[in-house]
Structure 1
Amino acid sequence: MQLKHSYKVFITKKVGALTSKPYAFTARSWELKSFETIDIFDSYNTSIRIDVRGDSIMRIQPKVNKLSNDLITDKIRFSYDGLKVQRLQFPSERVLDNVSLISWEKCFDIFKEKYQDYKNVIGIAGNYTELEATVLFKKFINKIGSENLFVESMLLSNNDLLQPGINISGDNEKKDFILFGFNLKVDIPLLNIKLKFINRKYGNKIYSIGTCNSLSYQSMHLGINTQAFLNFITGKISPCKLKNPKYIIINSSLQNKINHSLFTKLLAYANKLKLIYSVISPYSADNGFNILNYNSCLSHPYNKKKIIYLLNVEVNVKKNLNRDFIVYQGSHGDQGASIADLILPSAAFTEKRSSYINLFSKIKTSNIIFHPPGNSRADWKIFKALTEYFKKTIELNNEDDILKLFNKYYSYNKKNYFIMDSKTKHLKNYSKEHQTLVINNIDNYYLDTSITRSSMTMNKCFLALKDKIKFNFLI
């Protein structure tokens, strides 16, 4: 049975006729203990239920609610077999090509010794870092005298562009949607399904500017280059002349891929015509980074010798970093750990309480299901211990204290939105060579995190998609 969305979303039938292949004939329902948590692999952060037997995850299912419509992505449903593979359990030091296990005290000694030599630290956080670690990472880097905080993804570098989050509930029959720079089937699959339901129920018009993709519902593609962008913000294309109010969904990576002034003109035009818009990211951690004033990783020169502290940074590390001394903190021995000189093991999302701001501007929190293996610890506890080792103090003793501190940032920034200048007179100075507008944020849907790359099932999905085989994980 081949579903139209089966390679992105698995639909569970309530009659029990469909069973996921990895779970088939492995356990009985009365043997399982269920835990409720969230999906951290995209900014939708849908609620999920994890069924456990002993110390093993047997299956992951959606938690039934109105927001998720009983849907979860293939990535969270089938990647749980990667949670036990290639785990980092003990602090490690690399000398030449030899890696040796060390104690936490020895690990902190090495870091402090290197810090005294280089006197500066660059902190780079990964796309799926939770709020607790984001806050403590910023505190730690600032306490030791550095302001160099960056993110792995191509995030908006102007923090005044914070938006209150996407809102596609209520009066949907009166809205038309315009997607800027998104391939929603890959970036945020559940949002794509949500728009599909709205389109079929109310007949909303949906337009897209960027790479041309089949969204599995009726939509109009307006162009792939900057000419389409200019036509939109100058009002030369038909969507601007329709009667229904427009809801513009903008990919946050656009600001780093096209001229900055052109991006600001888009928002200026939206404000001028009183269009509703949201600048969102497909990555679950980016809203927290933006609120806490992290910077875009692309804007930093790597030619200076410094300590580079990687927090769950996993993708394209070798291409972007001209390293001198690299510290990696994460749960899996993946690309970041392979080039690190010092490795600090941390807990996975099922082994710690972690919070995220989803694309609806709601704080979603995951729950602890297992204890961290070996000597690994939650990220925020590692930063607190490191700060105290440098004889600095952080008066945050648990996750609740951290979230209270974060809420001060969040409530302040949420009331201070940036209103763009509505003038568009400088558009004529833009280059006449209209280049392709957007490249997808997520190049490889199934293998973009260390957990999914460690999953045998996700690797099968990748091979099936790569070879265009109709590989079906439903039985």
Structure 2
Amino acid sequence: MPKLTINGIEVEVPAGTTVLQAAQAAGVEVPHFCYHERLAIAGNCRMCLVEMEKSPKPVASCAMPAADGQVVYTNSEKAQRARKGVMEFLLINHPLDCPICDQGGECDLQDEAMAFGFDRGRFLENKRAVKDKDFGPLIKTHMTRCIHCTRCVRFATDVAGVPELGATGRGENMEIGTYVEHALTSELSGNMIDLCPVGALTSKPYAFVSRPWELRKTESVDVFDAVGANIRIDARGPEVLRVLPRLNDDVNEEWLGDKGRFAIDGLMKRRLDKPYVRENGKLVPATWGDAFGAIAARLKGVAGTKIAGIAGDLVDAEAMLALKDLLTALGSPNLDCRQDGAKLPTARAGYLFNTTIAGIEQADVVLFVGSNPRAEAPIINARFRKRYLAGGFKAAMIGPAVDLTYPVIQLGAGPEVLSDLADGNHSWIDTLKGAKNPMIVVGQGALAREDGTHVLDLARKLADAVGAVREGWNGFNVLHTAAARVGGLELGFVPGEGGRDLAGILEGAQHGDIEVVYLLGADEIDMGRLGKAFVIYQGHHGDAGAARADVVLPGSAYTEKNGTYVNTEGRVQLGRLATFPPGDAREDWKILRALSEPLGHKLPYDNLAQLRQRLVAVNPRFAQVDEIVPAEWTSFGVPGPTGSGPFVYPIENYYMTDPVSRSSPTMAACTESLRATVSQKTGTNG
């Protein structure tokens, strides 16, 4: 490990560390623009120049490897003069539009110019101007402000795996663009806004909306997929204005999917802000008392076996527990949190992403079974691409061919290939067996089928056959698409003894065996199969469930409540209230607690603390926030014949998967833009 001296401080760093990283380790600030710890080194901006003994000129510390015996000065007169010169050149063509720039207040260029720049400029010629580019409905461009750090180019190429950005021209004529003008097609493109150190790339939906110092900031978690990305919610008054990622190396590093970042404008659209009761075939506004009275009157005399509950994809654990307790008190064993019908087991090892998200970087082979991680979990897909770029990694998939942004071998489209692998009759079995740390990722496209439990059994047998599960390594994984799914399974929000699952509930409703169905934010089921059942819908948007309901109870969105969520790897995380629900809407568990009284089964908790004590009593793992509790490897799945049809991925349109994103004008614009871009590339009419 090399030892070097920085500003008189001796520091020892690992081999391969740069001088800039060594300075950071020593607590010395070195200004920079192009350098980013998660991107390839470019050495473009030269702002990180430092003086080094025995070097005839200042060196770019971001690209200089640290070596034994180096003596570095970051604040010498020579280094300061070099920085001031670099800053003067950067500002030669930079427009003086800070007062109207959305980056104002959180701009690296502003900060560095104040701390390290010169106090005057000597450039008197006209500034150059660059035509703005159209990057789609998410990113607003002001390319005259661009300082050519190429962070966006490197992110698109390396992290997102969509090499659509690059530089054309040289010197003052150099421009960043997409070569052929079209919208960016990455599900992670919004991260370029965070990476841009100036105001060249800003958020188009957030343009001219607010200044950062006006916003109230709340740390929470994203619920638009099952990754549980850590986020910061910025709100002003009653409205969420933007969502930014928070650093968590074990989950999302510092990235965030575009849906989680931009779908928030759907939070205030099509909102349910008062209770409704259906009268003469139409939903009419009602008071809470009227709504509860209608429910109590309908449930009176109904046997518990004729009542059912279904939990949706965005529901917090507290609400699911309250509904489960209420249904249990009513004598109903008919409840299910798997509204996609996935044949998930109750054994933890059979429904968790056991390798963990960070553990992907230790794998050397992965087999995707009925999973398209790029649409289902872009953050996890980016982690797989990161592992591919590190080298020594192979990927294969069983399912329809899709572009995952890294090379993937197509083994087939249906379960017959998985069966051959499990029986040892496929050539790729040798690759899996020869791997040090093999991974199998089973998606909901493989489990949400009639033969899903048989497919799960084959995947488990394959994991055992190739040694994917051993001491210190579990390579068997289930990739979920819903933020609520693992939490519901951890709570046991599944059919009780003699109870019906989703298919049984829908069949029972059709035939009149189920008379009352409670939809807790469940909008993705076939509402036409509910027959003449009395439907209670509790949710926050006027989506499919509210349209079918006989009574509508207005709940709160994820930004409007304190809730517990469990991500696909089993990590318990806390979402926090950033704004209050609109109108008469209330937090979901409070609605169920209030409803329990007129139903004659008062729930035994009056505040969130008591409810969370009950949560821990049901499953102690809920007390271990932000920790991974490994699952015991047991048998799951049911042996049996599988169908011959190909797997079908659960997400056709990444931008619209839930009531919030379907209500978002920005997500609608992304859908249209993507369709137009695909048509442009393929030469079709979409």
TM-score normalised by L of structure 2: 0.63
> Within 5 A, what are the aligned runs for 1:87-98?
87-98=271-282
- Counterparts of 1:366 and 1:273, CA distance in 2: 38
Shift of 1:445: 2.0
Indicate yes or no: 2:201 matched with 1:31.
no
**Deviations 1:43-88 (CA, angstroms, capped at 9, x unpaired):** 1010111222333322221113323232111112111111111111
Choose from 302, 326, 333 the match for 2:542: 333
> Within 5 A, what are the aligned runs for 1:406-425?
406-411=615-620, 417=632, 419-420=634-635
Partner-residue secondary structure (3-state), 2:535: strand
Task: Answer whether contact 2:364 2:438 (CA < 8 A) is retained.
Answer: yes
- Counterparts of 2:212 and 2:341, CA distance in 1: 43
**Structure-2 change in CA distance of 1:48 and 1:164 (3 Å):** closer
**Structure-2 change in CA distance of 1:107 and 1:174 (3 Å):** closer
2:596 corresponds to which residue? 387
Letter in 2 for 1:270: A
Task: Answer whether contact 1:122 1:148 (CA < 8 A) is retained.
Answer: yes
> Within 5 A, what are the aligned runs for 1:184-223?
184-223=373-412
- Counterparts of 2:675 and 2:525, CA distance in 1: 20
- Counterparts of 2:255 and 2:423, CA distance in 1: 39
**Structure-2 change in CA distance of 1:125 and 1:168 (3 Å):** closer
Shift of 1:105: 1.6
**Deviations 1:362-385 (CA, angstroms, capped at 9, x unpaired):** 111111111111111111111111
Task: Answer whether contact 2:340 2:448 (CA < 8 A) is retained.
Answer: no
Task: Answer whether contact 1:162 1:417 (CA < 8 A) is retained.
Answer: no
Most deviating of 101-110 and 409-418: 409-418
Choose from 327, 332, 343 the match for 2:552: 343
> Within 5 A, what are the aligned runs for 1:49-128?
49-66=232-249, 67-116=251-300, 118-119=302-303, 120-128=306-314
Most deviating of 362-371 and 237-246: 237-246
Shift of 1:124: 1.1
- Counterparts of 1:59 and 1:277, CA distance in 2: 36
Letter in 1 for 2:558: F
1:138 corresponds to which residue? 324
- Counterparts of 1:115 and 1:418, CA distance in 2: 42
- Counterparts of 1:79 and 1:171, CA distance in 2: 28
**Structure-2 change in CA distance of 1:171 and 1:136 (3 Å):** closer
**Deviations 1:414-439 (CA, angstroms, capped at 9, x unpaired):** 787462389x9x87xx47x7321x11
Task: Answer whether contact 1:127 1:313 (CA < 8 A) is retained.
Answer: yes
- Counterparts of 1:250 and 1:186, CA distance in 2: 14
Number of residue pairs matched? 465
Partner-residue secondary structure (3-state), 2:234: strand
Shift of 1:467: 3.9
**Structure-2 change in CA distance of 1:416 and 1:226 (3 Å):** closer
Task: Answer whether contact 1:47 1:62 (CA < 8 A) is retained.
Answer: yes
Task: Answer whether contact 1:156 1:290 (CA < 8 A) is retained.
Answer: no
**Structure-2 change in CA distance of 1:196 and 1:374 (3 Å):** same
Task: Answer whether contact 1:162 1:418 (CA < 8 A) is retained.
Answer: no
Indicate yes or no: 2:666 matched with 1:457.
yes
Shift of 1:401: 3.1
Partner-residue secondary structure (3-state), 1:208: strand
Indicate yes or no: 2:488 matched with 1:289.
yes
Most deviating of 250-259 and 307-316: 250-259
Shift of 1:252: 4.3
Choose from 305, 319, 336 the match for 1:150: 336
Shift of 1:165: 3.4
1:279 corresponds to which residue? 478
Most deviating of 81-90 and 190-199: 81-90
2:457 corresponds to which residue? 264
Shift of 1:392: 2.0
User: Of the two, which has the highest radius of gyration?
Assistant: 2
- Counterparts of 2:345 and 2:578, CA distance in 1: 37
Partner-residue secondary structure (3-state), 1:71: coil
Letter in 2 for 1:149: L
Runs of 5+ consecutive residues of structure 2 not aligned to the other structure:
1-132, 136-155, 157-161, 163-183, 469-474, 496-500, 623-628, 681-686
Q: CA RMSD in A?
A: 2.7
Shift of 1:396: 2.3
Indicate yes or no: 2:650 matched with 1:441.
yes
TM-score normalised by L of structure 1: 0.90
Task: Answer whether contact 1:174 1:204 (CA < 8 A) is retained.
Answer: yes
Most deviating of 81-90 and 59-68: 59-68
**Structure-2 change in CA distance of 1:374 and 1:168 (3 Å):** closer
Letter in 2 for 1:62: P
Shift of 1:460: 1.0
Task: Answer whether contact 1:143 1:387 (CA < 8 A) is retained.
Answer: no
Letter in 2 for 1:133: A
**Structure-2 change in CA distance of 1:147 and 1:253 (3 Å):** farther
Shift of 1:282: 1.4
**Deviations 1:310-366 (CA, angstroms, capped at 9, x unpaired):** 111112443442233111111111211112111111111111011111122111111
**Deviations 1:174-229 (CA, angstroms, capped at 9, x unpaired):** 53111111111111111101110111013311111112111011121211022211
Runs of 5+ consecutive residues of structure 1 not aligned to the other structure:
none
Letter in 1 for 2:443: N
Letter in 2 for 1:51: D
Task: Answer whether contact 2:233 2:243 (CA < 8 A) is retained.
Answer: yes
- Counterparts of 1:191 and 1:171, CA distance in 2: 9
Shift of 1:253: 5.1
Task: Answer whether contact 2:357 2:380 (CA < 8 A) is retained.
Answer: no
2:532 corresponds to which residue? 323
Choose from 385, 391, 398 the match for 2:607: 398
Choose from 224, 235, 247 the match for 2:439: 247
Most deviating of 396-405 and 320-329: 396-405
**Structure-2 change in CA distance of 1:382 and 1:267 (3 Å):** same
Task: Answer whether contact 1:233 1:266 (CA < 8 A) is retained.
Answer: yes
**Structure-2 change in CA distance of 1:35 and 1:440 (3 Å):** same
Task: Answer whether contact 2:442 2:459 (CA < 8 A) is retained.
Answer: no
Greater relative contact order (CA < 8 Å, ≥ 6 in sequence): 1
- Counterparts of 1:417 and 1:386, CA distance in 2: 38
2:519 corresponds to which residue? 310
Shift of 1:117: 5.2
Partner-residue secondary structure (3-state), 1:19: strand
Partner-residue secondary structure (3-state), 2:667: helix
Choose from 287, 295, 298 the match for 2:503: 298
**Deviations 1:135-185 (CA, angstroms, capped at 9, x unpaired):** 111001111111110231223343123447342435835531111111111
Partner-residue secondary structure (3-state), 1:124: strand
**Deviations 1:272-310 (CA, angstroms, capped at 9, x unpaired):** 443120223111111122221415413432323301111
**Structure-2 change in CA distance of 1:257 and 1:368 (3 Å):** same
- Counterparts of 2:511 and 2:360, CA distance in 1: 53
Shift of 1:99: 2.7
**Deviations 1:389-430 (CA, angstroms, capped at 9, x unpaired):** 2222322233333333333444489787462389x9x87xx4
Task: Answer whether contact 1:38 1:45 (CA < 8 A) is retained.
Answer: yes
**Structure-2 change in CA distance of 1:290 and 1:316 (3 Å):** closer
Task: Answer whether contact 1:87 1:333 (CA < 8 A) is retained.
Answer: yes
1:15 corresponds to which residue? 197
